[in-house]
Chain A
Amino acid sequence: TQLLEQSPQFLSIQEGENLTVYCNSSSVFSSLQWYRQEPGEGPVLLVTVVTGGEVKKLKRLTFQFGDARKDSSLHITAAQPGDTGLYLCAGARGSGGSNYKLTFGKGTLLTVNP
């Protein structure tokens, strides 16, 4: 069974602080995706990282894919209350050229207090 372990599970910080969320696995994935989910909504894709060692930036969010393509991190600089939500990492593995399935971690519930 492939497992994606996310840490921390819960994070409550003040506006303006920096934070890092980790996503680790013993399995290799063809890509890793980060989603943010708000209550009562479906997950919304933030970024997909494909190449080992890849770093992607999305405004104040920085995503990194480990060299071995087993782990990833999400760093948020100067967090804002609008960043509050459930952050999910998901590893993709496929066969036959199709995006077979996504394996999700349990998520990190981030609360940014004003």
Chain B
Amino acid sequence: ETGVTQSPTHLIKTRGQQVTLRCSSQSGHNTVSWYQQALGQGPQFIFQYYREEENGRGNFPPRFSGLQFPNYSSELNVNALELDDSALYLCASSLTGLNTEAFFGQGTRLTVV
């Protein structure tokens, strides 16, 4: 059974560019959530995907978008990058259902310069 894997682990982008981050969910998990963790803060919920559809969204602008594929892997896309987008982006996979456990990947450290 493989855990949650994210790629790339580190990334440097220039303000205004676009970025795509990838996540492979844990085997058998059908729900993927994305979080942004700024330095010194707790993770902030971006959105969740279930059965390839967005299943809830946090307080993030539309330039943050996502996809989930039939194999439950997921992508996070951010357009028109801003300096404040610099953060650790975490993907978490889980089974659907209330109070199920979420398993996090190691994250992608994005730096916008």
Contact = CB atoms under 8 A, between A and B. Distances in A.
19 contacts: A6-B42, A31-B99, A35-B104, A40-B109, A42-B104, A42-B105, A43-B43, A45-B103, A50-B99, A88-B42, A88-B43, A90-B42, A98-B31, A98-B48, A98-B98, A99-B96, A101-B48, A102-B43, A102-B45
Contacts of B90: 42-43
Interface stretch (B50-58, B62-70, B72-80): B50-58
A99 B104 contact: no
Interface in A1-27: 4, 6
A101 B33 contact: yes
Most buried by A among B33, B43, B107: B43
B45 A106 contact: no
A98 B42 contact: no
A65 B98 CA distance: 17
Contact of A102 (B33, B103, B105): B33
Most buried by A among B42, B45, B50, B99: B42
Interface of A: 4, 6, 30-31, 33, 35, 40-45, 48, 50, 88, 90, 92, 94, 97-107
B99 A92 contact: yes
A100 B48 contact: yes
Interface string B35-46: 100001111110
Nearest to B95: A99
A88 B58 CA distance: 19
A42 B43 CA distance: 10
Given A97-B96, A99-B96, A107-B42, 8 more contacts: A30-B99, A31-B98, A45-B101, A45-B103, A98-B31, A98-B96, A101-B56, A104-B43
